[in-house]
């Protein structure tokens, strides 16, 4: 058994080349779990990830607010707190807050790359975020 206490979580702002808008992450240290990335992520209203894929897929557990998410070629959907979103391996997608609520999710994915199991791509432009 391993325990990572709250004070040992690694907290910091989301990098600008991964996110649009203000995002904060609490990451479990990779030394505790080298094969699985565990992150709690807070998005301000309107904030979202860039387009990206996860080689082994990803699970999001929505904790607070409403998540707005889409996969390539489909309009965004909204998932309220308490819901779970699954992304298949290599499914191109994005996720973030709605425009009028902040949102917190747990993100869990197999850590296959140096970026913790995520291949980052281009920003989600406003029209894509709005589903236009």
Q: Which residues contribute to the site for Mn ion (CB under 5 A)?
A: 58
Query: ∠ at Cα 95 (62, 44), nearest 5°?
Result: 75
Q: How far is the CB of 3 from Mn ion (least distance, A)?
A: 26
Q: How far is the CB of 48 from Mn ion (least distance, A)?
A: 10
Please say which residue, 2 or 105, places its beta carbon nearer to Mn ion.
105
Q: Which residue is nearest to Mn ion (CB)?
A: 58
Q: What stretch of H or E contains 129? A: helix 126-130
Q: How far is the CB of 91 from Mn ion (least distance, A)?
A: 9
Q: How far is the CB of 115 from Mn ion (least distance, A)?
A: 11
Closest CA to 98 of 126, 124, 78, 122: 78
Residue 103 β-bridge partners: 43
Please say which residue, 8 or 125, places its beta carbon nearer to Mn ion.
125
* Residue 69 phi, psi dihedral angles, 5° rounding: -150, 155
Please say which residue, 5 or 114, places its beta carbon nearer to Mn ion.
114
> What is the three-class DSSP state of 6?
helix
């Amino acid at each position: 058994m391993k325990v990572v206490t709250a004070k040992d979580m690694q907290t910091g702002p989301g990098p600008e080349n991964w996110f649009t808008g203000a995002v904060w992450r609490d990451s479990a240290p990779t030394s505790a779990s080298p094969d699985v990335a565990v992150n709690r992520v807070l998005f301000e209203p309107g904030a979202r990830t860039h387009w990206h894929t996860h080689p082994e897929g990803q699970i999001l557990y929505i904790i607070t607010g409403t998540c707005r998410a889409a996969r390539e070629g489909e309009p965004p959907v909204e998932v309220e707190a308490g819901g779970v979103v699954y992304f298949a391996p290599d499914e191109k997608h994005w996720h973030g807050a709605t425009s009028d609520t902040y949102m917190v999710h747990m993100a869990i994915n197999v850590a296959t790359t140096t970026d913790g199991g995520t291949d980052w791509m281009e920003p989600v432009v406003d029209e894509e975020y709005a589903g236009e």
